[in-house]
Amino acid sequence: MKVNKKGAAAAAALIVASMFGLAGCAGGTAATPKQTENAGTLTVWVDADRARALKDVAAAFQKDKGVKVDLVVKDYGKIQQDFTAQVPTGKGPDLTIGGHDWTGGFVQDGVIAPIELGDKASQFEKVALQAVTYDGKTYGLPYAIENIAILRNTKLAQDTPATFDAMVAEGKKAGTKYPFLVGLDPQGADPYHLYPFETSFGNSVFAQNADGSYDPTKLTIGDAAGQSFAKWLGAQGVKGTKVINLNVSQDIAKEAFLAGETPYLLTGPWNVADAQAKGIDLSVDPIPSAGGKTAAPFAGVQTFFLSAKSKNTLAATDFLVNYVATEPVQTALYKAGGRPPALTSAYQAAQSDPIIAGFGKVGENAVPMPSIPQMGSVWDDWGKTEAAIIKGADPVASWTKMASNIQAKLK
Amino acid sequence: MTGPALQDERETTDVAPSRRGRRAAALAEAASAGWKVWLAKIVMLGVIDALAIYAMLVLIAQGQWLVPLIIAVVAVLVNVVYLVPGLLPAKYLTPGLIFLFVFQVFVVLFSIYIAFTNYGSGHISTKDDAVAALMQQSQTRVENSPTFPVKVLERGGDFYLLTTDPATGAFEVGGADQPLEQVAGATASGAPGFTTLDFAQILQHQTAIGALSVPLSSDPNDGYLKTTDGSNAYQFTSTLTWDPTADTMTDTKTGVVYTDTGQGAFTSEDGTQLLPGWQVWVGVDNFVRAFSDASIRGPFFAVLIWTFVFAILSVATTFVLGLFLAIVFNDPRMKSKKFYRVIMILPYAFPGFLSALVWAGMFNQDFGFINQVLFGGASIPWLQDPWLAKAAILIVNLWLGFPYMFLVCTGAIQSIPEDIQEAGRVDGASVWQIFRHIKFPLLLVAIAPLLISSFAFNFNNFNLIYMLTAGGPRFADASINVGQTDILISMVYKVAFVGANRDYGLASAFAIIIFVLVALISYLSFRQTKVLEELN
């Protein structure tokens, strides 16, 4: 027995020693990754739709430049958080897609790097370029623009009048259950969907610089124009016409529109497919003005971001500027996502679709959604106050209180 | 010859032990000996050791030392436990203990560590990363500057850019330490003495080439050329300069100097911080903020009180209803018990978060089932009034929770021996007296630990709160996004993951406070239940 044990121990020592040796070798090669980092693979985080559209351009890039493009399909809702968490550890992708309004946070966290578009910059739609510009620098390549507009059921209403009151009157004439619907939330209303009415009074959240970027030191939301909007909002709430109803959620509004219970729905391109599937004859119309000026919605711009820790910046920039920023690719991305492309030539080609042309026409007046991190201090109070005003709180007092609360948080 | 001798020896030893002893010896023989078992053991240990050493080498190569040290200690311990004879309990416990440490203790320790840092928006990485990001972000293209078509050249391991001066059309070459200058004999594709790189070669050295900045002239204020794709270069200037020896960032436009003040960001004299910053140890700052910052403290205490009210009332209401139903269903006169019992358990069978979502729809002020059908079209703001929202949460949790209490109470009641109650009846006690003095105390002995765990569960019942009210209606004057029906855990979630300004440090501090509270309450309650057990 004892001899046996000793033998086993010796054998064990031998095996373990050889394994240590093996492990040492493996560790040795892993410890010197410097030679393999330029093997030429670009990792790109995309959602499933975009992945299909990018497959061809990835293959073309690999063929031309010998750089493999690895499209990693991610759940869009998780990208922002995962990207922020993984880039500092060096495990994130070289490129990711995302909404342009993430830019400010990404820059503040130091996880994205600026991209030099060079002369390509002038070939993009103005609002798209404004949207990806932060602090004077371009932080991404825009590829699609989205904004809300009025979806009209053409069987129930002939046209969308230019003013809100006229539209509501037209909607009442249609004899449906609701003259007009917009999906809101009982707790937080929805500043994004109500914003076009707010801008029609000439109000904005922050003052815009000449280049379209927002100045976080100039909070303009509480000015006189904002207060007139608040008064108007109060007049549409429970104490007034009740046209704007907090209890109509996005789902309820959409269901009612699909059921033909309203001629007008204020919504984005994401609800078009379902309405068409229901056989509703749609028209996409400009948003009526409530305060006299043009009703300008927020534009959201879908963007490719470059990781600050990418080891492949040259290949990534080349891929974005010389491959993705071309008309065929932008068109393919538009076909996959159903949102107007950001490159002007592709954008114009897409206008042959009346739905896209409708959203595009409204989008010409759109202002980029602020991407500055200070916006994070605004949304919450903004929505809460709008909900309170719709519920019957004093509009002007609530609105000015909100402005001073936000101002206090910004400091 | 040795055979019989051995036989003899065995026989002599075999006489003494009992049959049981022999069986134990045989088992021990089977468990310890056998060269196959040994070989398997050695191979597996070898694999484990190899993995451990691989992990250690990789981690050490990344400049870490604490984790490799821990791995080394654990690996040695594992070897000792499985190679040394004896230590049988340790052999069984070790795998479980390792998993416990990896998946539980480590996570808890990491949360505690985060609670003492400023980890959150703007402070997510290291100082080196922050410096690199600031330098990257401070490079601005000179407005309206032309595009320079470039070729990347190489000489002696250093990289150079070859470009055409847009004004004169002359070919110029420059490197990191050498401003652009005309080179005799240069063409559009190369220059004498230099190797022109093709795209594949550029990609091989893209980190170095991407970092290459070529001064436009000997005057640094003219800026420098940088290429971002290997074929075009642009004229940049930098708005920040980094001085590693003095540890300062200087804004070249305004002249403001930002220094590292130990708060995890470069800070100017007037307190302006340059973001991104980096993670630093901030001590108990997060805990101090939770209790001292008025805009956090107010909502924090309101949430704390509601958390207790919610957890206590949830347990109390579900227990009372569950117990009542259990007693009713335990009555022998009750008909079709099985049918009712199935119906009773239905709410328990649905996933809780789905039920909460459905209830949120039913509580809708204008379209919900409750107002439309039960209250005849009344417009009751169930989820928008602070008190009604709290009531709604308790109602839904009662609906979700009573089947569980019903089940455990039924079991406990049925386990109480009938003769004890019989004895009470013989002594002339009323039904209520029998319940109050005999059944209920006996029931509590079995149920009390379950009530405590139910309390702990409801204390952290995130699903219900988040899906039903999302914590709303919101507090008017809180600097963090919390509302009237938020409990501590949903508040932690909101602080850490909702909105643009995330504060993982503060959220971890809250999480520790929750842990301490739950642990304390459970400890005190379990001590109380010991008193109950003495009843027996």
Peptide bond into B441 cis (omega under 30): no
Interchain CB distance below 8 Å, A105 and B384: no
**Which pLDDT score, from 0 to 100, does residue A163 have?**
93
Helix (H, G, I), strand (E, B) or coil at B303: helix
Asked if A409 is an interface residue toward chain B (Cβ–Cβ < 8 A), one would say yes
**Which pLDDT score, from 0 to 100, does residue B32 have?**
57
**Which pLDDT score, from 0 to 100, does residue A196 have?**
95
φ/ψ bin of A24: left (φ > 0), alpha (ψ from -120 to 50), beta (otherwise)? alpha
The size of chain A, in residues, is 411
- A 284-343 residues inside an 8 A Cβ radius of B: 308-309, 311-315, 317-318, 321-322
- B 203-262 residues inside an 8 A Cβ radius of A: 203-207, 209-210, 226-232, 234
Q: List CB contacts (< 8 A) between B482 and chain A.
A: none
**Which pLDDT score, from 0 to 100, does residue A213 have?**
81
Of all residues in chain A, the one with the smallest CA distance to B204 is A38
For helices B337-349 and B386-414, give the axis angle rounded to 10 degrees: 130
Q: List CB contacts (< 8 A) between B294 and chain A.
A: none
* Contact present, B478 and B299 (Cβ < 8 Å): yes
Residue whose tokens read 């070669």: B201
Interchain CB distance below 8 Å, B38 and A8: yes
* Distance between CA atoms of residues A206 and B384, nearest Å: 30
Q: Is the pLDDT of residue A29 over 80?
A: no
Q: Distance (Å) from the C-alpha of residue A306 to the closest C-alpha of chain B?
A: 12
**Residues near B438 by Cβ (< 8 Å), separated by ≥ 6?**
B416, B420, B421, B424, B429
**Which pLDDT score, from 0 to 100, does residue B293 have?**
80
| DSSP classification of residue A163 | B
**Lookup: tokens for B447:** 């149920």
* Distance between CA atoms of residues B105 and A102, nearest Å: 34
Interchain CB distance below 8 Å, A248 and B497: no
How many pairs of residues across A and B have Cβ atoms under 8 Å apart? Answer: 203
CA angle B283, B286, B288 (to 5 degrees): 90
Beta bridge partners of A207: A215
Q: What is the ipTM of this complex?
A: 0.73
* Distance between CA atoms of residues B454 and B521, nearest Å: 12
Q: Tell me how far CA of residue B194 lies from CA of B179, B185, B215, in angstroms.
A: 16, 11, 19
Whole-prediction pTM value? 0.77
- pLDDT tens string A185-231: 888 889 999 999 999 999 999 998 877 788 888 999 999 999 999 99
- The H-assigned helical ranges of A296-374 are 313-319, 327-337, 344-350, 354-363
Low-confidence ranges of chain B (pLDDT < 50): 1-16
- B 496-525 residues inside an 8 A Cβ radius of A: 497, 499-501
Q: Name the pLDDT band for A25 (thresholds 50, 70, 90).
A: very low
Q: List CB contacts (< 8 A) between A40 and chain B.
A: 200, 203
Asked if A9 is an interface residue toward chain B (Cβ–Cβ < 8 A), one would say yes
- pLDDT tens string A339-383: 888 999 998 888 888 998 999 889 888 888 998 888 877 888 899
CA angle B269, B275, B280 (to 5 degrees): 85
* Distance between CA atoms of residues A53 and B110, nearest Å: 41
**Residues near A98 by Cβ (< 8 Å), separated by ≥ 6?**
A79, A80, A83, A106, A140, A302, A303, A305
**Which pLDDT score, from 0 to 100, does residue B31 have?**
58
Q: Name the pLDDT band for A1 (thresholds 50, 70, 90).
A: very low
Of B43, B83, B210, the CB nearest to A313: B210
- pLDDT tens string A141-174: 999 999 999 999 999 998 999 999 999 999 999 8
**Which pLDDT score, from 0 to 100, does residue B394 have?**
94
- pLDDT tens string A297-341: 999 999 999 998 888 888 888 899 888 888 988 988 888 777 888
Interchain CB distance below 8 Å, A312 and B206: yes
The size of chain B, in residues, is 536
What does the mean pLDDT of chain A come to? 85
Q: List CB contacts (< 8 A) between B207 and chain A.
A: 37-38, 311, 313
Q: Is the pLDDT of residue A6 over 60?
A: no
**Which pLDDT score, from 0 to 100, does residue B38 have?**
82
* Distance between CA atoms of residues B134 and B124, nearest Å: 14
Q: List CB contacts (< 8 A) between B381 and chain A.
A: 186
φ/ψ bin of A101: left (φ > 0), alpha (ψ from -120 to 50), beta (otherwise)? alpha
Q: Distance (Å) from the C-alpha of residue A234 to the closest C-alpha of chain B?
A: 17
Asked if A6 is an interface residue toward chain B (Cβ–Cβ < 8 A), one would say no
Q: Is the pLDDT of residue A102 over 80?
A: yes
Of A67, A187, A380, the CB nearest to B203: A67
In angstroms, the first-to-last Cα distance of chain B is 67
In angstroms, the first-to-last Cα distance of chain A is 78
**Which pLDDT score, from 0 to 100, does residue B27 have?**
61
Q: Is the pLDDT of residue A33 over 60?
A: no
Q: List CB contacts (< 8 A) between B76 and chain A.
A: none
Of all residues in chain B, the one with the smallest CA distance to A404 is B477
The DSSP element (H or E) to which A45 belongs, if any, is strand A41-46
Q: Is the pLDDT of residue A130 over 90?
A: no
* Distance between CA atoms of residues A407 and B10, nearest Å: 93
Of B50, B126, B500, the CB nearest to A20: B50
Q: Is the pLDDT of residue A242 over 70?
A: yes
| DSSP classification of residue A100 | G
CB atoms near residue A169 (< 10 Å):
12
- A 210-269 residues inside an 8 A Cβ radius of B: 245-249, 252
**Which pLDDT score, from 0 to 100, does residue B458 have?**
92
Q: List CB contacts (< 8 A) between A116 and chain B.
A: 141, 226, 228, 234
Q: Is A372 exposed, middle or buried (0-12, 13-18, 19+ CB in 10 A)?
A: buried
Interface test with A, best of B54, B278, B504 (most A CBs within 10 A): B54
Beta bridge partners of B173: B162, B181
The bridge status of strand B214-215 relative to strand A68-73 is unpaired
| DSSP classification of residue B145 | P
Nearest to A319 by CA among A83, A79, A62, A112: A62
* Contact present, B506 and B290 (Cβ < 8 Å): yes
Q: Tell me how far CA of residue B142 lies from CA of A210, B6, B253, in angstroms.
A: 17, 97, 14
**Lookup: tokens for A261:** 């219970």
Q: List CB contacts (< 8 A) between B466 and chain A.
A: none
Q: Distance (Å) from the C-alpha of residue A247 to the closest C-alpha of chain B?
A: 6
Q: List CB contacts (< 8 A) between B150 and chain A.
A: none
- Indicate the Cα dihedral angle B244, B247, B250, B255, nearest 10°: -130
